[in-house]
Each structure stands twice: as C-alpha cells, then as structure tokens.
C-alpha cells in the first residue's frame, strides 16, 4: 500500500536527528537540540552529520534529488522573530519532528517547492503562501530525475547562501527543507532512464505533449519528486508559478487522482519590466542575449491579441503573428552577426484542461498559448492564458 505513507502521522519510531551547523550569510544556525524544549529533547537521538514541480500509472525505476545542509530552530515556533533565523532541515526525520509540532498546534502549512536559485517570482509565491497559511515551508532540491543526460543538471545554478538570505528577508518562510539525493532516491538516480530503478509516478495523457515532446523524461521526474515532497511535507496548501503551465496542470491532476488532501494554487507569472518571464535560467543570458530574450513573450502575446482583439479562431491565423515575430528576431540576430543563434523549439495552443492541441478555439474556450525558444544555448519557456485568469 504505497499511498499509506501519505498519512499525516509520522512513524512512531522516527527520532529527531541532530545535524551539524549550517553556514549561512553572517550567521551559523546552531544545532537545533539547544533550542528544543526539554520534553522534546528527551526523545531525540543523535545521528551522523550529513552533507550539504488523466490516469496515473506507477512504474518501477529510480529517482533522485539534491538538497543541502542541516539544523533547525525551535520545534514550537515557525521562525525566530528576534533574529529572523529559519530552521533548515536536511534529513526527513528531523523535518517530520517539526511538522508534527505544526500538527499539534493545528497550524495550516503552506508549501513552495523550488530548485533554488530563487528570484522574485519564487519569493512572491512564499509571500502569498504566508498570507494564506500559518506556516510556510520552502524546499530547495535540484531534481536529477527531471534532467536527461544531455541537459544542464551540473550547470544548474546553486546558490543556497543567497537563497537563504532572500527567504529571511521575506519574513514569510517558516522552515527550509534541503533533502539529500540519497534520501529522496534511495535506489539511486542515473540520468539514463533505461538504467533507473525504483518507484516513479507518471501522469498519463498530460505529459507527452508541449514540453514533453522535446523532454519526454521531464514530467515523470516532476510528478515523482513532487509526490515525494508532498509525502514529506504533508502540506495543506501548495503554490506553483504559472510560468510552468503544463507542470501546473500535471500536478493538479495528480493531486486529484491520488486523492491528496491538498489545495493547490497556480500564481500568475512574475515578469521583468519588459515582459520577460522570471526564471533561474535567465542568469545564463549575456547582455546581448538578454536584449532579444523577450521575443517569446512578445510572440505569444501577439497570438493572444489575434484571438481577443481580432476574433481569430483558426490555429494558423492565431499563431501567424507569433511566428512572424520570432522569424524577424532570428533574422536580425543573423544579420547583425551576433555570437549566438535564436531558434524556435515549439509554439502551442492547447485546451487548458486536456492539453489537447487546438485547431480552432471557441469564443469562450479556455486555452494556453505557450512556447519555447533557444537564445544561444539557454532554453526559455513562457505562456499566456486565454479566456481564463488562473490555471
């Protein structure tokens, strides 16, 4: 009964693990045992220190993820008001002790899963979660199962010190979960899917299209790690960014079909002043690349305008202005002799629930206009919603 693990009751034998201090900007979080109430401390045992998003089918295979470092604060408060310190947990057992205390206090717990390299969009999710919840957990985990062997797992930005300082500054984060790959994927996680072993979660019918065409491994990795994180955190509410629209649909369906007692919100995309969707990968862009990086947002916005303002209903007429904008930028980059290329991966117009590609759109039919482009070697994604405000 794999789903029995989704019970809110932690195993009776689970002990609070004491981990070594985690170094963060301008302070060191001391071992949380010093801050625990005597009644809790008496039940703790020490452990060795650890190093620093349709139908569902389960298949055997392996998954993994990366998170760092340790320590914690009081088991009876969500943050330390005097210093702003946030407890950081790098073992599942120690986090579950904190989570049990939240349950004892009848706290509503919100959860924002991330891969780190936090930007204003992530922090906005945390702040919205805090407005709606008593306590907010942020996970930082670069999930290997989402990456193919040729993708940028090793290069994906990791910046825990900066992330920690940003979360402290929000005054909205109650705990940070920083799990290790070895705990998240005990069977190991080779990037070659044919070599993977262990349990995986797949949302059938929503994972093969759009992003799934060029990244067929991606949503199995997302669904698996999100299920694991939900199992650890036991959140009442979860918060995702709408920039990853297909991911939002996949996760919402997974929550529904697995009967998880979780309320999900998809928050509108945070953008730079010129419309570029905020992304951890934007830091890969050189100044010259950044100047043209808005092409995708301009393209899908033009396609939406064709529907909303010009009454276009046929796919070709809707996507024609989007292709024109992208083709123009591709040619400008070439003729200016810039040291990179711009390449379209795909443009998509799908139904908001089934993610079926649409040849025509009804007058009030909710849809997603989305796409992906390469600016140099950096792959950027974006989307806009049609006839709906929130996924």
Q: Taking the C-alpha atoms of 179, 185, 190 and 193 in order, what is their torsion angle to the nearest 10 degrees?
A: -120
d(CA 221, CA 254): 13
217 is catalytic: no
Work out the angle at residue 135's Cα, subtended by the Cα atoms of residues 144 and 84, and round it to the nearest 5 degrees.
Answer: 90
Residue with token string 């979780």: 262
- Tokens representing 90 are 């790098």
Instruction: Tell me which of 122, 208, 217, 297 is the catalytic residue.
Output: 122
Residue with token string 């993994």: 64
- Tokens representing 145 are 């199962």
d(CA 31, CA 71): 5
User: How far, CA to CA in Å, does 294 sit from each of 113, 248, 268, 289, 342?
Assistant: 26, 23, 17, 10, 12
What amino acid positions are annotated as catalytic residues?
122
């Amino acid at each position: 009964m794999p789903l029995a693990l989704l019970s809110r009751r932690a195993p009776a034998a689970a002990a609070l693990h004491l981990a070594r201090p985690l170094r963060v900007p301008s302070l060191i979080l001391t071992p949380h045992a010093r801050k625990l109430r005597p009644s809790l401390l008496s039940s703790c045992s020490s452990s060795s220190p650890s190093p620093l998003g349709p139908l569902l089918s389960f298949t055997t295979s392996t998954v993994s993820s990366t998170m760092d470092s340790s320590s914690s604060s009081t088991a009876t408060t969500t943050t330390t008001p005097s210093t702003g310190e946030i407890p950081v947990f790098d073992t599942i057992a120690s986090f579950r002790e904190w989570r049990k205390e939240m349950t004892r206090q009848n706290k509503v717990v919100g959860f924002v899963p991330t891969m780190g390299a936090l930007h204003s969009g992530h922090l906005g999710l945390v702040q919205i979660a805090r407005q709606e919840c008593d306590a907010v957990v942020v996970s930082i985990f670069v999930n290997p199962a989402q990456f193919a062997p040729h993708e940028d797992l090793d290069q994906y930005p990791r910046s825990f010190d900066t992330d920690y300082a940003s979360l402290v500054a929000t005054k909205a984060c109650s705990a940070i979960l920083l799990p290790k790959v070895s705990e998240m994927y005990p069977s190991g996680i080779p990037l070659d899917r044919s070599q993977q072993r262990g349990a995986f979660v797949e949302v059938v019918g929503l994972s093969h299209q759009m992003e799934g065409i060029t990244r067929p491994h991606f949503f199995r990795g997302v669904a698996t790690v999100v299920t694991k994180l939900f199992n650890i955190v036991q959140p009442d509410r979860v918060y995702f960014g709408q920039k990853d629209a297909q991911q939002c649909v996949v996760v919402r369906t997974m929550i529904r079909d697995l009967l998880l007692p979780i309320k999900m919100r998809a928050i509108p995309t945070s953008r730079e002043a010129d419309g570029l969707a905020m992304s951890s990968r934007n830091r890969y862009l050189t100044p010259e690349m950044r100047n043209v990086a808005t092409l995708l947002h301009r393209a899908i916005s033009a396609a939406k305008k064709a529907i909303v303002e010009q009454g276009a209903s046929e796919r070709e007429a809707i996507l024609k202005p989007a292709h024109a904008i992208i083709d123009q930028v591709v040619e400008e980059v070439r003729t200016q002799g810039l040291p990179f290329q711009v390449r379209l991966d795909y443009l998509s117009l799908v139904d908001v629930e089934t993610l079926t590609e649409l040849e025509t759109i009804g007058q009030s039919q909710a849809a997603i206009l989305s796409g992906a482009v390469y600016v140099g070697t950096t792959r950027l994604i974006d989307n806009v919603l049609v006839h709906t405000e929130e996924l």
